[in-house]
Amino acid sequence: MAVKEGAKAEKKKVVVIGGGVGGSLVVKSLQFIAEVVLIDQKEYYEIPWAALRAMVEPSVAERSVIYHRDYFTHGQIVTSAAVDITESGVLTADGDLYSYDYLVIATGHDDPVPRDRGERLVHYEAEYDKIKSANSILIVGGGPTGVELAGELAVDFPEKKVTLVHRGSRLLEFISPKASKKTLDWLVSKKVEVILGQSVDLDTMSDGIYRTSGGETVRADCHFVCVGKPIGSSWLQQTFLKDSLDSQGRLMVDKHLRVKGRERAFAIGDITDIEEIKQGYAAHTHAEIAVKNLKLLMSGGRASKMSAYKPGPALAIVSLGRKEAVAQFPFMTAIGCFPGKIKSGDLFVGMTRKQLGLKPLSSKPKSPSTGK
């Protein structure tokens, strides 16, 4: 039966799996023009690049841990895990099936965090208490997470002994050797002990003594493991998209960010096989391209008119405390207050909240010693 003239066309159904950097922007952008369902294991979106600051200043989490409903006001939120996908629907761990016209997979990396926002805030308070009560701290892993945590501790708690152990030959191996060396020199200048080319067997720790693979001993009151997390795609191996995963478990996508061979399924963020540094700004750009293409398709536009994603030049900024950072730009590296002004102060929290249509709220730092 033909639709009567003047009648509104039925809205398309879009299911988004994953409420991280990319998924949150997709649902926020499509909520008024489609029937959108967000499936996420937690009830909140967390700005990931603020997590380490929240460990030394828990009040930061009040701004960086955001209820999905605060920015996604016109759609359905399903707080559960997706366990299967068919050609037309997504099955959750609760046994519910959600049909879709278009699908967006944005599950990033596996990161076991609390389901409830309140529990996440309590977690940061506990981490802060753990840090504050320790005289010596061990960090395992010298990637961006380990380096940023070492920087936060060195600046906010300079009286504490911080040791960083990294199995690689240099810190921040995803950026240039020159930037790695500058980072090492900065940490050493802040009295952080850095041990490279070794790992730590945490199972053999006894009475605060940790042993490295090189036979060294490290004394620490507590430790933090800051190593890479697995891609959040293992569950896809049992779905109809199992043949769309590459050997590393990443979803293969075309230049339009559609899962290869699938016209109605998109993938964005760290889960994709796009060869680029996996950074939040890249996931954000993926989301913008996916939204643009979904709007085109839902309005009846031709697939040949879809926008293509082109990875940009290598760019990375790693915070070193509250005022400094190390940065790799396309033609240079820099360290100190100049790159720090770009990221380290507010860590893009205010900007990210604005992008989600929320107020920035206060970004005035509190004293780590007094909390005021």
How many Å apart are CA 338 and CA 327, to the nearest integer? 9
pLDDT of residue 369: 44
Strands (E), 197-315: 209-211, 217-219, 222-225, 265-267
Say yes or no: 277 and 130 in one domain: no
pLDDT at 287 over 80: yes
pLDDT of residue 370: 46
pLDDT tens across 310-360, in order?
998 878 899 999 999 999 888 888 999 998 998 888 899 999 999 999 998
User: Which amino acid, one-letter code, is at 121?
Assistant: L
Say yes or no: 271 and 297 in one domain: yes
> Per the domain annotation, does 145 fall within a domain?
yes
Say yes or no: 185 and 251 in one domain: no
pLDDT of residue 8: 60
- Exposed (0-12), middle (13-18) or buried (19+): which is 233, by Cβ within 10 Å? buried
Nearest-5° angle of CA 372, CA 222, CA 155?
40
Say yes or no: 133 and 199 in one domain: yes
Judged by phi (left if over 0) then psi (alpha if -120 to 50, else beta), residue 191 lies in left
> Per the domain annotation, does 276 fall within a domain?
yes
CATH for 149: 3.50.50.100
Say yes or no: 245 and 343 in one domain: no
Cβ neighbors of 63 (< 8 A, separation 6 or more) are: 47, 50, 349, 350, 353, 360, 361, 362, 363
How many Å apart are CA 226 and CA 149, to the nearest integer? 9
Helices (H), the chain: 21-30, 51-56, 61-64, 68-71, 117-133, 144-156, 177-189, 280-298, 337-343, 349-355
> Per the domain annotation, does 141 fall within a domain?
yes
CATH for 90: 3.50.50.60
> Per the domain annotation, does 20 fall within a domain?
yes
Say yes or no: 219 and 328 in one domain: yes
Say yes or no: 153 and 184 in one domain: yes
pLDDT tens across 190-249, in order?
999 999 999 999 998 999 999 999 999 999 999 999 998 899 999 999 999 999 999 999
Collapsed DSSP state (helix, strand, coil) of residue 161: strand
Find the mean pLDDT for residues 295-314: 94
Contact 41, 79 (CB under 8 A): yes
pLDDT bucket at 157, cuts 50 / 70 / 90: very high
Give residue 252's domain range: 13-41+80-111+229-305
pLDDT bucket at 363, cuts 50 / 70 / 90: low
> Per the domain annotation, does 160 fall within a domain?
yes
pLDDT of residue 296: 98
Count how many domains the chain has: 2
pLDDT tens across 16-47, in order?
999 999 999 999 999 999 999 999 999 999 99
Contact 66, 353 (CB under 8 A): yes
> Per the domain annotation, does 7 fall within a domain?
no
**Phi then psi for 325, rounded to 5 degrees?**
-165, 165
> Per the domain annotation, does 299 fall within a domain?
yes
* pTM (predicted TM-score): 0.91
pLDDT tens across 82-92, in order?
999 999 999 99
pLDDT of residue 316: 87
Say yes or no: 349 and 335 in one domain: yes
Say yes or no: 218 and 255 in one domain: no
Say yes or no: 221 and 335 in one domain: yes
**Residue percentage of the chain with pLDDT more than 90:** 84
Q: How many residues does the chain have?
A: 372
Find the mean pLDDT for residues 138-155: 97
Collapsed DSSP state (helix, strand, coil) of residue 60: helix
How many Å apart are CA 221 and CA 14, to the nearest integer? 48
pLDDT of residue 298: 97
Say yes or no: 257 and 128 in one domain: no
Q: Nearest Cα to 52, choosing from 159, 128, 119, 115?
A: 128
Say yes or no: 183 and 221 in one domain: yes
Q: Nearest Cα to 342, choosing from 312, 316, 364?
A: 316
Cβ neighbors of 215 (< 8 A, separation 6 or more) are: none
Find the mean pLDDT for residues 6-15: 80
> Per the domain annotation, does 47 fall within a domain?
no
